[in-house]
Chain A
Amino acid sequence: MTGLRTLSQVALREITERARSKAYLATTGLTILIVLGLIVVPNLFGGGTAETTVGSLGEGNDAIVTTAVELGNANDEPDDPPSIAIETIQFANRDGAVAALEAGEVDAVLVDGEEVIVANVGGFGGDSFLNGLQRSAGTVQIQEVIAEQGQEAADIIQILTSDPLEVTSLAEGDPAEGETRTITAYFGLLLLYLAVLLYGTWILTGVTEEKSNRVVEVLLSSVRPWQILGGKIVGIGALALAQLLGTIVVALVALRVTDAFDLPSIEIGAVLNLLLWFLVGFLIFAVLFGAAGSLVSRSEDANTIAMPMSMTAVVGFFVSIAALNDPDGIVAVIFTFVPLTSPFVVPVRTALEAIPLWEYLAALVIAVAAIIVLTRMAGRIYAGGLLRYGGRVKVREAWMSASE
């Protein structure tokens, strides 16, 4: 009990000292600002109308332009400004039209409804505009064919811009719910990945700092290594989670206010599952980052020593992206049982309902066992590494020189 009391003292110091520090307040403010910016800024600019100018040479171009505008604006909400607008300039001859195209006065030139001249093919945006013209030209041709059989031309646009097939999923419940779960799992995954890379470094540099300002020798003369390491992880972890949750809440509020994105409603079970694996994943990586921090004396060396953990997180992230596509696949199953990657993979497979209960439980047991074993090992490496100064301490040396 006194052991845990000491651990909580260490954690409490981390929280009160760090929460007061300018660095913490600044990164929190900055993160929230960036997230707000990402949500609000596209909403400010993205809502406008894309305006283009098309040159027209000869006859039969007006129908294509009109249809292109109709197609492009087919899914607009009634109150919103139109998504696209096209201005037409009539040219008398080809040379004049080409000159205008070269001067950038027009974005493309339509010739007799049969040819389109562009400055060049490819590049961002240019192709989608060209594709739009192609599609509307095709639509015009279909209209002509159908019109001979007495159909309304407007119906064609309706058919082309809707999803005519009704989707029935074999998964239970609403098919939209499955999609929601996938999105939730994806965001959970992304958050864990970011948290490991960002907050893992906090723990690492926190440990290195204590080593470089030598306070650790005072601490270790009365407190056991695992108490310091554990307290640091709990304290910094709590602050990290507070920052993360604060950012998420701000993001959710901003999304609601700006109405930029339709928020899916998430079941509480899915959230708890994500939270559980988030904590498991964060703890495993935190322990490793803490042990690594004890091996270097200067914060300059911290990045190098963090590399193996960062790379593992990257692997976990990509494996679980693969698991999103193939949740029953052999890769997904194998990495379910690897403690460093299971926190990434299992939530995805759970969200897609593609994991048997025994695999889920086994993965959890392995991961928790790994935390316990790694904490003990890390405590020893930490104890051995902390009082060795100079360059990088080898893991083996630290292990051998520790007294417990």
Chain B
Amino acid sequence: MLSVQDLHKSFGDIRALTGCTFQVDRGTMLGFLGPNGAGKTTAMRIVFRLLRAESGTVTWDGSPIEADDLIRFGYMPEQRGLYPKMRTLDQLTYLGRLHGMSKNEARAAAERWLERFGLGDRIGDPVESLSHGNQQRVQLAAALIHDPELLVLDEPFSGLDPIAVETMSDVLREQAASGKAVMFSSHQLDLVEDLCEEVAIINQGSVVVNGRVQTLKDAAPIRHLELELEGDPSILVDSLEGVQETRTDGDRLTAIIRAETDVRGFIARAQQAGKLRHFSYTTPSLSDLFREAVR
């Protein structure tokens, strides 16, 4: 388990981290969310000892992370970086060897990943000749080549086309399913909601929300209600308790209501008002939680 406790870090007058705390268990995928400049990259860099925190601890399975532990981890930095002129296969083999693999192991793993990403016919080409999306795939392969126990990816989905997003998602799911601890940062909240069981939302240097996505949603003080009838739904609004926000759009009504509101009576009234075509009562989306958290 990766455990980050109460990290503090400043750059001059800028306070990048002000008590950042979160955990990533083996076998889970954590979505690391936050507005630009919230401190996501800084926290990730501290995990990899690229930056030194002023205070706080970072542990893996209970012991502080030392330089020697790093070869068991995989990192994909936000600023992608590969040797532009080096051949793709050589490049991945080299990075595998830096992580302690033998030449044959590294080469076999590099070939396997490139094959998996559909780059089997490009292994001899220099990285600079690949498209942006393919370079990103190679970058991911570079983080995965040595079968790391912990995978940390900074904005892995940015700039990818839908097909590449699909591949990337599949790989991350597999990694988590096979017992790895996986964390990644992203601004694509729908994607995070789809992929991650857990999220940590960081704002102005500290984690403000952290936990299982479902638990966080259940614990949210609001619910979303949506209905559509044949007839005017606006007459129903007054009979709804605990309303925070409503909007009617033709025969469609959407409302944000307090979580404790009992909607059973409301459904009955709605059925009397007209034929009910659609009704939903849901916990808020991750986007709602995010907006609430960073407000």
Q: List chain B residues, Cβ under 8 A from A10.
A: 98
Please state if A218 and B95 are interface contacts (CB–CB under 8 Å).
yes
Q: Among A2, A213, A222, A404, point to the contact of B83 (Cβ < 8 A).
A: A213
Q: A403-B51, A403-B52 are in contact. Are A221 and B75 (CB under 8 A)?
A: yes
Besides A218-B82, A221-B50, 13 other A-B contacts (C-beta < 8 A): A17-B86, A17-B90, A21-B85, A213-B81, A213-B82, A214-B81, A217-B77, A218-B95, A221-B70, A222-B70, A222-B98, A222-B99, A387-B51
* A-B pairs with beta carbons under 8 Å apart, 19 shown: A9-B94, A13-B94, A17-B86, A213-B81, A214-B80, A214-B81, A217-B75, A217-B79, A218-B75, A218-B142, A219-B98, A220-B48, A221-B73, A223-B98, A387-B45, A387-B50, A403-B49, A403-B51, A403-B52
Q: A217-B50, A403-B49 are in contact. Are A9 and B98 (CB under 8 A)?
A: yes
Binding site for A on B (CB under 8 A): 45, 48-52, 67-68, 70-71, 73, 75, 77, 79-86, 90, 94-95, 97-100, 139, 142
Count A-B pairs with CB separation below 8 Å: 65
Please state if A220 and B98 are interface contacts (CB–CB under 8 Å).
no
Please state if B82 and A215 are interface contacts (CB–CB under 8 Å).
yes
Q: List chain A residues, Cβ under 8 A from B80.
A: 214
Interface bracket on A: 20 to 34
Determine the distance from Cα of A222 to Cα of B83 in the docked complex, in whole angstroms: 16
A206 to chain B, nearest CB (A): 11
Determine the distance from Cα of A335 to Cα of B98 in the docked complex, in whole angstroms: 41
Q: List chain B residues, Cβ under 8 A from A2.
A: 68, 100
Determine the distance from Cα of A402 to Cα of B50 in the docked complex, in whole angstroms: 8
Q: List chain A residues, Cβ under 8 A from B97.
A: 9
Q: Which 5 A-B pairs have the closest CB atoms?
A: A214-B81, A403-B52, A215-B81, A221-B75, A217-B77
Determine the distance from Cα of A217 to Cα of B82 in the docked complex, in whole angstroms: 10
Determine the distance from Cα of A17 to Cα of B93 in the docked complex, in whole angstroms: 13
Q: List chain A residues, Cβ under 8 A from B51.
A: 387, 401, 403
Q: List chain A residues, Cβ under 8 A from B70.
A: 221-222
Q: List chain B residues, Cβ under 8 A from A218.
A: 75, 77, 81-82, 95, 139, 142
B130 to chain A, nearest CB (A): 14
Q: List chain B residues, Cβ under 8 A from A219.
A: 98
Determine the distance from Cα of A404 to Cα of B99 in the docked complex, in whole angstroms: 20
Closest to B47 in A: A221
Q: List chain A residues, Cβ under 8 A from B79.
A: 214, 217
Binding site for B on A (CB under 8 A): 2, 6, 9-10, 13, 17, 21, 213-224, 387, 401-404
Determine the distance from Cα of A343 to Cα of B49 in the docked complex, in whole angstroms: 37
Determine the distance from Cα of A221 to Cα of B142 in the docked complex, in whole angstroms: 12
Q: A221-B50, A222-B70, A403-B51 are in contact. Are A214 and B77 (CB under 8 A)?
A: yes
Determine the distance from Cα of A6 to Cα of B94 in the docked complex, in whole angstroms: 10
Please state if A403 and B100 are interface contacts (CB–CB under 8 Å).
no
Q: List chain B residues, Cβ under 8 A from A17.
A: 83, 85-86, 90
A151 to chain B, nearest CB (A): 78
Q: List chain B residues, Cβ under 8 A from A217.
A: 50, 75, 77, 79, 81
Please state if A6 and B98 are interface contacts (CB–CB under 8 Å).
yes
Q: List chain A residues, Cβ under 8 A from B49.
A: 403
Closest to B148 in A: A222
A51 to chain B, nearest CB (A): 55
A215 to chain B, nearest CB (A): 4
Q: Among B48, B83, B94, point to the contact of A221 (Cβ < 8 A).
A: B48
Please state if A215 and B52 are interface contacts (CB–CB under 8 Å).
no
B215 to chain A, nearest CB (A): 32
Determine the distance from Cα of A212 to Cα of B31 in the docked complex, in whole angstroms: 29
A403 to chain B, nearest CB (A): 4
Q: List chain B residues, Cβ under 8 A from A224.
A: 67
Determine the distance from Cα of A402 to Cα of B97 in the docked complex, in whole angstroms: 25
Closest to B44 in A: A221
B110 to chain A, nearest CB (A): 14
A21 to chain B, nearest CB (A): 7
A401 to chain B, nearest CB (A): 7
Q: List chain A residues, Cβ under 8 A from B71.
A: 222
Q: List chain A residues, Cβ under 8 A from B50.
A: 217, 220-221, 387, 403
Determine the distance from Cα of A403 to Cα of B86 in the docked complex, in whole angstroms: 29
Determine the distance from Cα of A221 to Cα of B52 in the docked complex, in whole angstroms: 13
Please state if B52 and A213 are interface contacts (CB–CB under 8 Å).
no
Determine the distance from Cα of A215 to Cα of B77 in the docked complex, in whole angstroms: 9
Determine the distance from Cα of A217 to Cα of B79 in the docked complex, in whole angstroms: 8
Determine the distance from Cα of A74 to Cα of B80 in the docked complex, in whole angstroms: 73
Determine the distance from Cα of A260 to Cα of B135 in the docked complex, in whole angstroms: 55
B158 to chain A, nearest CB (A): 15
A271 to chain B, nearest CB (A): 36
Please state if A213 and B77 are interface contacts (CB–CB under 8 Å).
no
Q: List chain A residues, Cβ under 8 A from B81.
A: 213-218
Closest to B86 in A: A17
